[in-house]
Amino acid sequence: MTEPLWRRVLRLHGPNPRADVDEEFAFHLEERIEELVAKGMSHTAAREAALRQFGDLEQAVEACTEIGTRRVREVRWRERWHSVAQDIGYALRTMRRWPGFTWAAVATIALGVGANTAVFSLLNVLLLRPLDVERPQELVRIYTSQGHALRNDRDRFGGSSYADYQDLRRTPALADAAALMPFSATVEVGGVLSRLEARVVSGNYFALLGRPLFVGRWNPDEPGRSREVVISHQVWRTTLNADPSVLGRSLLLNGRHPVVVVGIAAPTFRGIEPAEIGLYLSFQAAQEIIGRPGLTMDRGERSVKVIGRLAPGVTAESAEHALTGIMAALAAEYPASNARRIVSVRPASSIVPMELMGPAVIPTAALVFAATLVMLAISGVNVAAVLLARTIRRRQELAVRVSLGASRLRIVRQLLTENLVLALAAGALVVGLLALLPSLAAGLGVPVSIRPRIDGVVLGYAVAVAAGFGIVFGLAPAFAGVHHDMAASLRDGGVTLRPSRARAQLALVVSQIALSMLLLLVSAALLASLNRQQRIDPGFEVNRLVVAVFEDPAGQDRDRDQAFTALAMERLLALPQVTSVSVGSMAPLTGDGMRSTIHIPGYAEQPNEDMEVPMVTTGPHFFQTLGMPLLRGRERTFADRDSAVRVVINQSMARRYWGSREPVGTHVRLGGADGQAAEVIGVVTDARFRTLGEAPLPMYAVQYGTGSGITGGSSVLIRTRGNPAELMAAVRGAMSRNEVPYTLVQLSTMEDILYSSLAVSRAVSQTILVLGILAIVLAAVGLYGVVSYVTAGRSHEFGVRLALGATPASITRLVLGYGLRLAAIGGVAGLLLGLGALRALEGMLSGSWTYAPLGALVGVILCAVTLLACAIPAFRATTVSPASALRAQ
């Protein structure tokens, strides 16, 4: 039995267990046969006897081959791991040998990876993390909307009525569905009034989410149990001081509605919205407390959000299809409320529901994330440049190792391991710092459901980014360790200081400058845009205006509302410094506000045109108080004693729907063609009522007069001739003794509202500015490094120049010029990148732009930083002693 040739060839490429076993057994059989033949047996008989004696040959070959293969694999792994461990050990020793370098590199990497991972952890919790419930992938959010009035996808995500919810949940496409509705509640415990974010939920809410109560049972649908409520674990622990006998305890809700606590939600229950909910009550209870018997019956009352669990095997699309059938049947049955109502089903994939995902959320998140990616690249390039310089300094050591028999690949691998270990050390540092993020968010009062958490995804991301960082930015320096003339390194001590050798460093430092320019330019543009928005004329007088928002803790009640408004007017107008007071459904810049359908006789509607127009309801003197001049006509005043409802429209609305016709004196119909008629009595100037950024939209105000008892809302506007901050104290005092128990929920100056309406833009531009500053500092350090390096390499030349009569000033100019040339290349590249980025960001920047001043500004910053970075190398170059420079040659 000879070994086949192919097996012998294979053996050259490492151990071959099968061939070994074959050869070993062949030898055994030959020996045995030989012995038996020697004893006088025939060859055939001997062969048979030998095989018989061997037993199951096939099986033995198989078993032994398997064992051998296993061993070979094991040995290979052990060798591999051993050499990796060797590399890691070597890397750790190298890190200890250059502690300063190690700390600087780790800190720089941690900066880049940390900024990026921190933003990622925010995106993770807001957009990526599944809901913290049982089998979250089965959950869907169900919306209804007016099918003909969709301007964009976001308009699909409207609420449902409780009655519609009851019909929709019957579909076999859903295992079940739960309804929930916002509710704001106060409870008084031990004389302290606490406001709670509450939710009205259907009785199956906790069961649907698969999150049983911590203690207690809640079955509000059973007769006589509708006034039973569930509180959150947090409210039990804090507001109720962890009262051990809380079950059965009675609470007074909103001052006059007794409810009984029968359960506590699980401590880890975070709900399905980015809010911290303290109390859950039933629809039955809400209906009684709000005092609207139609709440669960009226199909026009669409304040319910529906969350469903898909039946096994059903997708969101097919569920939408099934629900669309039910919706069509409802539209046929209840045309008054449900005509053209459509249903949309979307996977409940994240804590932020579709309807809260404003148009700016994704672009803003993407911008900040992109900025941190640029930062990551900058820190990477920075570290790569330093690693490269160090590798060059180590060339002699590496050349020695190669000459002692290490393969070049092995050297590259070892250098790469060093860079990876550095990056992973930084990754560990980042994870350590990120662990502080949740408690930081808790300190800032971020609801628990959207606090960034350090989960497996974030950890994995941090490690992956750090490792990717180590590989991407470690490769070039690692190859620089072997791709050169190693013999020359051994000869001249390794440190070859020739500018031509610094090409890689030059490229790195130039790209660093370019990227930091990009960040600076973008942050400058954002800050300029912010500044512009802050100085934008909102169309009303911001100064000396105070906004007080009141809320009826008992829900909406028209009589109480009128009594309260009349009282507020009287009390506030009596304050000496107050010049004008009014009420409205909302104050400017405090939200999206309402829209309501309006029919305008004489205006030819397009088929299916959306006539839902933004509106406010107001009391008399609303525009006077805001300081908005009326262009034509008038607004209601206290002198208007009639109870008719009047309309004031803005300029854009007049232009859009009346054109050249005179609006004042015409009658519109509120709520549609068969709605209530109301006379247009005035046209007011346009104002930025909802956001500062948007262009003025058509908008109208429905004004109530004193004859109808003055209602219109509970946002009270107060104009003063004095200091608005002082007025706030007076307002608080005037409204504290109050026969009508309204709660003051917000009191601020209009200036503060304006300022905080820009809070997100401000936070974003400041974050990017900080990143830009860090980036330019890193770039300056990089520039300093490369200019020093090149200058040191040319010290002989400078010595000769000085000896030949060059002045120190001319040497300084030479070095500075060199630095500035590098900066100019990077700066121009950065400006081009930045202009591209600004073009992409056009939608987020307000107003039209000329980029020249911004470019000039960052150009000046760059020049200043460059001169700073080159000052020391330039000074050093002038101090070269000509004699010693010549001697060194």
Partner 1 sequence: MAPRIPDRLFQGTLDTLILQALVAGPRHGYDIASWLEASSGAALNVEDAALYTALHKMEERGWVDAEWGLSAKKKRAKYYRLTSSGRRQLQTRLVEWAAYVEAVDRILRPAQLGPSLA
> Footprint of partner 1 on this chain (CB under 8 A)?
20-21, 23-25, 27-28, 30-32, 53-57, 59-60, 63-64, 67-68, 70-71
**Residue 26 Cβ, how far from partner 1 at the closest point, in Å?**
10
Q: Return the sign of the alpha-carbon dihedral for residues 402, 407, 412, 415.
A: negative
- Phi, then psi, of 777 in degrees rounded to 5: -65, -45
Q: 3 or 557, CB closer to partner 1?
A: 3
Sign of the CA dihedral with 746 first, then 747, 753, and 755 last: negative
Q: How far is the CB of 273 from partner 1 (least distance, A)?
A: 59
Residue partners of 556: CB distance under 8 A and separation at least 6: 290, 292
Q: Is 488 left (phi over 0), alpha (psi -120 to 50) or beta?
A: alpha
> Using CA atoms, how far apart are residues 222 and 225, in angstroms rounded to an integer?
6
CA nearest 29: which of 69, 61, 71?
Answer: 61
At closest approach, how far in Å is the CB of 23 from partner 1?
A: 7
- The answer for residues whose C-beta is within 8 angstroms of residue 448's C-beta and 6 or more apart is 234, 270, 276, 442
Q: Whole-angstrom Cα distance, residue 579 to residue 544? A: 10
Specify whether the CB–CB gap between 771 and 371 falls below 8 A.
yes
Q: Considering beta carbons, is residue 62 or 188 the nearer one to partner 1? A: 62
What are the residues whose beta carbons fall under 8 Å from the beta carbon of 509, sequence distance 6 or more?
381, 385, 779, 782, 783, 785, 786, 822, 826
Q: Which two tokens stand for residue 580?
A: 């004008």
CA angle (587, 590, 593) in 5-degree steps = 80
CA atoms within 13 A on the CB side of 495: 7
Min dist. Cβ of residue 44 to partner 1 (A): 19
- CB nearer to partner 1: pick between 2 and 850: 2
3-state secondary structure of 193: strand
Q: In angstroms, what is the minimal distance from the CB of 52 to partner 1?
A: 10
DSSP 767-815: HHHHHHHHHHHHHHHHHHHHHHHHHHHTHHHHHHHHHTT--HHHHHHHH
Minimum distance from residue 73 beta carbon to partner 1 (Å): 11
CB of 48 to partner 1, least distance (A): 14
Bridge partners of 308, per DSSP, are 140, 177
Q: Which is nearer to partner 1, 70 or 93 (CB)?
A: 70
CB 285 within 8 A of CB 205: no
Q: Are 699 and 614 within 8 A, CB to CB?
A: yes
The Cα–Cα gap between 529 and 137 comes to 41
Q: Which is nearer to partner 1, 20 or 751 (CB)?
A: 20
Nearer to partner 1, 65 or 766 (CB): 65
